[in-house]
A and B are shown apart, each in its own frame.
Chain A
């Protein structure tokens, strides 16, 4: 136990030191982790034990990452992307595999060459997606092209796992070639049953995700115990991984599917913010273990071979990607990024090389230099991104700036906190203005009903920082608070002004006292909940009494303007009264009196003078 904690401490401390430094130097977090790994690894200070075990465990971070990626991809969006996924992804994997295999066959038997080709055609989902996210490129056209290819690669792992054992040429030293689980081995079942079970598992994920997840999450959410929701979210991802492993599919793929199914769910943000820290941590440690696994002795001994392998691998893959980009009309400005971002080998290569070894496809003598080459290529990727940034920054100065269309596309980002009766009408109104607010509400019943009407509503406590983060508070322009509970609203205002000082705030207040409270916290745009209805009803009353509609309308507007102007004065009086310990009841009547007096002083001199005939000669 102590040993475990010590190891954990070393990993975490290394990350905590290396990542901020790397970020400060503009290297990105992935490179920071990799360097941390080298430093604590066997060729650095040799502070950690079995790197391979750690790597296997933390591969789970990739599963979680794909779950999160899935959460952000609605099925409809995925369907829209079918052409790039199948077209670009398919082309990249097939052509890269064939070319790499072609080169490899010059040195190896064809079976081994083909295996190497297949394995090396894959890129690193972990590094690339992490970097794209950090750079905010996920929503750009090049980001989507890259993602499509990565997605196809993740799918391609499944047939590869099936195909590789058929290429076995190396006699096995010991027979534990099966990758199946200890829990339940479907390998003992006849072929048709295996297929049925596999399909059944996928179907189960889809059906459970679509129909069972919502009521289950609602029940869990209604307990209002935060960690139970976290536990449920983790159990979901882990459970899917286990299920996928049992039926012999990629856990990453299963998690991705589950994510896609849940992308429409109102609990999406909640799931996202719960899984995110685990994913980040596991991936971080995974990157550290890649850094630590670099075998510098081997690299030193075979420096020429490995340099050749790295350059050959990355050069060939980049070339294939560039041509793929040309064929699929990737924009000229995006093509370079597309080519360099996917030129490395991926974490699946580690998994598949290991798998090939145990299945007697490839001998260790072939695998070891290749693994080093893959690790180095992964290490080089963040550096390539960096170089690309520097180059494209120069290009941007010299000419076209395309930033604005990105902003344009996203439009105004508004977070609507609270979606009760007032929030509903406000939301409807904003929608007619083409503004689609991200809506947060903590009433599960509300959330259900509103979702039926096509609103994008998410369940959660609005005063939770991570929920705000998930809702995009960092990029949002405006927060509209429609919660009548002033305590809650105040808490939210405090939180936002501390963490997102850029965010503009508009709020409702249940009554004057609540309005004053919000004013104390620096909110300047405040509307009282029932005030608008009172004035509108007043307008209707005057009309029914035979006032001219235009005059009634002006009286309403003038009253409203005077009232707005009085607000700050009343606020002051209110605070003084408070200092003077005026009792609540007295305060209420005193305020009413003050209001009436002020209204009288504001008597509509303005109305009397308006349009009164007067002779200019007088």
Chain B
């Protein structure tokens, strides 16, 4: 059983229906650690030692956050800037993260059609998350396409929210139990594009 760390960042959690739902879906799962960055560091003073220790203890690191300005909330950038130290996370002697799985779980306002070359946002989610992908590469981590919840501006119906939450829960469990076909998901734009086929059912 793999250990999963979820670095969660939402500056106004009380206002986010979807992020709360996703979060509740995985909270309390065995071998899953939820690390709420804004709650831990309301003053942005990130405890680098604590964060590095958390990373070292886990095999999968998920960054769960709303997709603000095609990127992460501010504290997550601060986290990357401070925690991923040379000689620890990257560089010729920085192997602390090597081989771990890297996953972004993001929620975005526009739906899938807006994140296309001729759509409203003109770039795909894959293109827009390439900095994170490059980060994972530099840290010698195995990058997975993001778990994406799109189109939340239109307002998601409750059953849709629940469905996303359940997908997220299944994905996390599959990652934990190593029942997710990583090679298969790597071919899709999103980890949850075709989740049911990617998760191997126990025979």
Contact = CB atoms under 8 A, between A and B. Distances in A.
Contacts of B68: 611
B202 interface: no
A550 to B, nearest CB: 4
Given A548-B12, A550-B11, A613 B153 contact: yes
B42 A553 contact: yes
Interface in B154-203: 154
Interface string A583-618: 000000000000000000000000000111111110
A550 B39 contact: yes
Interface string B26-53: 0000000000001110110000000000
A613 B152 contact: yes
Contacts of A614: 109, 153
Given A549-B39, A549-B42, A553-B42, A613 B15 contact: yes
A519 B7 CA distance: 47
A550 B14 CA distance: 11
B120 A617 contact: yes
B153 A550 contact: no
A616 B110 CA distance: 9
A552 interface: yes
A551 interface: yes
A611 B109 contact: no
Contacts, number: 45
A64 B21 CA distance: 80
B7 to A, nearest CB: 15
A612 B15 contact: yes
Given A553-B42, A615-B153, A548 B14 contact: yes
Contacts of B43: 553
Contacts of B77: none
Contacts of B120: 616-617
A611 B38 contact: no
B12 A615 contact: no
A615 B109 CA distance: 7
A549 B45 CA distance: 13
Interface in A528-552: 548-552
Which residue of B12, B13, B15, B40 has the most chain A CB atoms within 10 A of its CB atom? Answer: B12
Contact of A550 (B16, B38, B109, B152): B38
A617 B14 CA distance: 24
Contacts of A549: 38-40, 42
A52 to B, nearest CB: 72
A613 B38 contact: no
Contacts of B42: 549-550, 552-554
Nearest to A543: B42
Interface string B5-29: 0000011111110000000000000
Contacts of B12: 548, 551, 610-612
Contact of B11 (A552, A610, A617): A610
Interface in A186-211: none
Please indicate which of the listed interface residues A554, A613, A614 has the most CB atoms of chain B within 10 Å of its own CB.
Answer: A613
B134 to A, nearest CB: 26
Contacts of A611: 10-12, 15, 66, 68
Interface of A is mostly: loop
A541 to B, nearest CB: 14
Contacts of A554: 42
Interface residues of B, number: 20
A610 to B, nearest CB: 6
Contacts of B15: 611-613
A44 B10 CA distance: 89
Contacts of B40: 549
Interface in B57-73: 66, 68
B166 to A, nearest CB: 22
- Which of A549, A550, A554, A612 has most chain B Cβ within 10 Å? A550
A552 B39 CA distance: 10
A554 B13 CA distance: 14
Nearest to B120: A617
A560 to B, nearest CB: 13
A614 B152 CA distance: 10
A613 B13 contact: no
Contacts of B39: 548-550
B13 A548 contact: yes
Nearest to B38: A550
A531 B186 CA distance: 55
B68 to A, nearest CB: 8
Interface string A353-390: 00000000000000000000000000000000000000
Contacts of A550: 11, 38-39, 42
Given A549-B39, A549-B42, A552-B42, A616 B109 contact: yes
A605 to B, nearest CB: 14
A550 B40 CA distance: 8
Interface in A31-50: none
Nearest to B114: A617
Contacts of B154: 615
Contacts of B153: 613-615, 617
A614 to B, nearest CB: 8
A612 B14 CA distance: 10
Given A611-B11, A615-B153, A548 B38 contact: yes
Contacts of A612: 12, 15
A613 B11 contact: no
Interface in A550-588: 550-554
A531 to B, nearest CB: 18
Nearest to A611: B12
A533 to B, nearest CB: 17
A292 B169 CA distance: 100
A548 B19 CA distance: 15
Nearest to A617: B120
A615 to B, nearest CB: 4
Nearest to B14: A548
Contacts of B110: 616
B53 to A, nearest CB: 21
Nearest to A548: B13
A508 B13 CA distance: 37
Nearest to B40: A549
Nearest to A549: B42
Nearest to A551: B12
Contacts of B10: 611
B14 A613 contact: no
Contacts of A615: 109, 153-154
Contacts of A610: 11-12
Given A550-B11, A552-B42, A613-B152, 13 more contacts: A548-B12, A548-B14, A549-B42, A550-B38, A551-B12, A553-B43, A610-B11, A610-B12, A611-B12, A611-B68, A613-B16, A613-B153, A615-B109
Interface of A: 548-554, 610-617
13 contacts: A548-B13, A548-B14, A548-B38, A549-B40, A550-B39, A551-B14, A553-B42, A553-B43, A610-B12, A613-B16, A615-B153, A615-B154, A617-B120
The 3 A-B pairs of least Cβ separation, nearest first, read A553-B42, A615-B153, A550-B38
Interface of B: 10-16, 38-40, 42-43, 66, 68, 109-110, 120, 152-154
